[in-house]
Structures are given as C-alpha cells and as structure tokens.
Structure 1
Amino acid sequence: MSGAINGLVPMVIETTGRGERAYDIFSLLLKERIVFVGTPIDAQVANLIVAQLLFLDRENPEREIQMYINSPGGGIYAGLAIYDTMQLVRAPLSTIAVGSTASFGTVLLSAGTKGRRYALPNATVHMHQPLMSGTMRGQATDLDIQAREILRLKNRLNNILSRHTGQPVEKIARDTDRDFFLTAQQALDYGLIDEVIGSASEIKKAEAATHAASAQADALQASVERGGS
C-alpha cells in the first residue's frame, strides 16, 4: 500500500472468494469499525464523523467502535456535534490518541467510554480555553453578544472536561487559561485517558479486560435481581 501523495487517498485491494475489490483506506477502516479523526475539525469533518458513528451504531450497537485521534482541534460547534453524537451512540466507544490531540481533539479523547480511553506513549495532549476565530467586528452590542457566547462555550467545555476527568471545574479553568501540554503519562494522571499503551496487542488486552469486568458486573447484577425476586 503506497502512502498518500499530494492529498491523494491510498487505495487497498482486498481479495475475497468473489474476486478483488478496491477500497480507499478510510472506507476499509470504517469496515473494521475504526473512525480516524486526523484533520482540523470543521463542519464538513464533523458531518462525516457523525455519519460514521451513527452508521456503525445502527449496524451493531453492542460492538465497539474505535476512534483514533491525531487532530489540532478546530471549531467548537463542529466539535460539540461530534461530542454529542459520541454520547448518543449505544456502542462502546474507545478513543486512542496518536501523535497529538489538541484543543477540541482532547475533548473528544476524554469523551470515550470510561475504561476505553488510551494514548500511545509518545502522544502529546493539549488543552486551552476556546479561541474566537477571526477579528470581532461590529457595534458594541454585537461585541458584547459575541463575548458572552465565547464565555458560555468556555464554561461548557470546562464542565465537559471536569465530567470526564473528575477534576474540579476550577482546576480545569486554571489549567486551560493558557496552553497546557501533557505527555501521555500526565494525561493518564490527569484523568483524560485510562491507559498508556504501546501496541495493538495491548489495546486488545485492555479491551478484553474491560469487557470481562463489564460481563462480570452484569452477571452479579443479574444474580442479585434473581435473589431479590
């Protein structure tokens, strides 16, 4: 398989008993229930990610979806569309940081299913407060409206990060007041991820352990319910 050149998407030839079929690499990943967030997040990217998540959840709401993230972040509204869909889908959703997750990319990383949020050893995780794109223009009233909206979004994102990390909102606000960089281990200590992993086998091992613990909890709950009936 050749790498992408000048924006071209690499193709993969899959051979089956019915012959050969060509897939672009992202379609092949989707076939394996892998979603890759590897660009700045704008409305178009958000629509594609949302559509993939909804499709995979509808296809099988019990089978895990894996989301690999190597993104500098992007638009807050676009990011929130992905975030809300991640919370909506019924399928377990693991998130894996590769390279760098920054800004809203880190919000998405933290929003995976608890116990299934990972980072590769050399991943860098970054947080900061929301930025207003472009230069604010207009009358004083318009500027006030925009300022209040950016503060609303800042508070909303701080609360989201607090919910997924267990950190107090006040600490999130202090840490994100300026650019805040973390190593994979620091992201683990902060509560943004659940494990630092170094190989695909470790991902599978961690997923198997999480699945076994979940099955054990379900069996215990069923036993309690039977005993109470």
Structure 2
Amino acid sequence: MSANKSWDIFFDDEVKELTKMNLPDPETLDYYERTRNREIFWNFDIDDSLVDFSLMIIKWNKQDKGKSPEERTPIKIFINSNGGELPAVLNFINVIQLSKTPVYTIGLGKTYSSGGLMLLAGSKGHRYVFQDTTALIHSGSTGAMGNTDKVLDNFEFTQRQEKRVKDFIVANTNITDKLYTKNYRKDWWLMSDEIITLGLADKIVTDLEEIF
C-alpha cells in the first residue's frame, strides 16, 4: 500500500493561509527591508551593477535634503568582496565622499582589492571590521589584448588609475607614499589589527550594538 502523506498536518492554519498568498521570496523581502533601513549588503565581486547602489545613496541624500548630518539616518554598507572592477568602485567612492548623509562601512570577512577601497571610503570614525576581517592591497591588472599600441594605451590608462588609488589611500589612511610604493606590487595581506593600525578602518567590532 502506498503512503500518500499530506504535509498539511505539519503546518498550522496561519501558515496554510500564508502559502495561498502570492508573497515574494524571502531574499526579495530581505532586500526591501534592507533598503528601508538604508542598508547595503555587498556580497559580490565588484562590477557595473554597483551603480544601482550609487543611485540609492543619491536618493537617500535627496530625501535628507535640508537636514544636518546629525539629523540624517546613516547609510550602512556591509562588505564581503574579493574585489573587482576599479572604475565601478571609484565611481561608488565619488558618491560616498559627496554624501552629506553619513555612510558607515562594515567589513565582513573579505575586503580585498576594490572591496578594501569601499571599506576605506566610509565616514571617518565609522569604518568597522570584525576580529577576523582581512584586507588585500595590490596593483591592478590590465587584461590588455590587441596590438602593441593598444596594449601600451591600456597600460598607460591603468597607471593613471593606479595613481588615483594610491592618492586616495595615502590621503585617507596612515599609509605613507613610501610604504605604499614598497608594498603595492605584491599581494599585501592585512589582518584586522593591521587594518586598524594602517587606518583603513577605525574600529574592530566587539559588540554588535556598535553597528546597529
């Protein structure tokens, strides 16, 4: 005899009613809740889709127009990223730096390459990492293809972008021009205490309420 089980017996009436409704999936609900709370969770490699979040920061600043920074609800960016496209993160940094609404950055796990730049861009005093958050600073990759002239053009453009990155890091951390030049061509790995000492972030989280 076959066992035709009805799974209804495992759910109460409230759950049964909810299943009849056309509700969005939990991931979508989580996204909208974060948006309402002005939270961005970046758990990806960095690419052009980051511009959508630049637009969100611009929108939140528009909503806050006329308020002092102290009156504004801060924007919080949670970061776990292997890095990615430099032009995309540089544009995002431009928007963060122009934001009158405070932007808190919180490093979760990996803040590598462009992800570390995102962490660094937060409002001074509100750049957080956890005890085992790590960072990586290194030189960029051109990915150049084509004839010699095109490769050289690409290389020259990459050098200009790398100077932009160096200037940004030196201006916003305790890393000197000399120290940066000495280390950036290798994979320069940093543990959380080094992240704080070098000024890429301001505080190691010891109580979750610090980032609420």
TM-score, L = length of structure 2: 0.81
CA distance in structure 2 between the partners assigned to 1:100 and 1:83 by the alignment? 18
Match of 1:157 in 2: 165
Match of 1:222 in 2: none
CA distance in structure 1 between the partners assigned to 2:62 and 2:112 by the alignment? 29
More off after superposition, 105-114 vs 123-132:
123-132
- Judge conservation of contact 2:129–2:205 (CA < 8 Å) in 1: yes
Match of 2:87 in 1: 77
Match of 2:9 in 1: none
CA distance in structure 2 between the partners assigned to 1:199 and 1:122 by the alignment? 14
CA positional deviation for 1:33:
1.1
- Judge conservation of contact 2:40–2:78 (CA < 8 Å) in 1: yes
Q: Which runs of 5+ in 2 are unaligned?
A: 1-23, 66-71
| CA displacement 1:48-99 (0-9 Å, x = unmatched) | 2112211222222522111111011111111111111111111011110001
| CA displacement 1:125-156 (0-9 Å, x = unmatched) | 111111123xx222222221111111111111
Match of 1:92 in 2: 102
- Judge conservation of contact 1:41–1:73 (CA < 8 Å) in 2: yes
Match of 1:138 in 2: 146
Match of 1:106 in 2: 116
- Judge conservation of contact 2:45–2:84 (CA < 8 Å) in 1: yes
User: Amino acid of the residue matched to residue 122 of structure 2?
Assistant: G
CA distance in structure 1 between the partners assigned to 2:109 and 2:31 by the alignment? 18
Q: Match of 2:106, SS? A: strand
- Judge conservation of contact 1:41–1:74 (CA < 8 Å) in 2: yes
Sequence identity (%): 22
TM-score, L = length of structure 1: 0.75
- Show structure 1 runs of 4+ deviating over 3 A: none
More strand by share: 1
Q: Match of 2:96, SS? A: helix
- Judge conservation of contact 1:74–1:103 (CA < 8 Å) in 2: yes
CA distance in structure 1 between the partners assigned to 2:178 and 2:133 by the alignment? 26
Q: Match of 1:147, SS? A: helix
Larger-gyration structure (1/2):
2
Number of paired residues?
183
Structure 1 pair 144/98, CA: closer, same or farther in 2 (3 Å)?
same
1:1-229 correspondence to structure 2 within 5 Å: 11=26, 24-44=29-49, 46-60=50-64, 62-133=72-143, 136-204=144-212
Q: Which runs of 5+ in 1 are unaligned?
A: 1-8, 13-22, 205-229
- Judge conservation of contact 1:35–1:52 (CA < 8 Å) in 2: no
- Judge conservation of contact 2:174–2:197 (CA < 8 Å) in 1: no
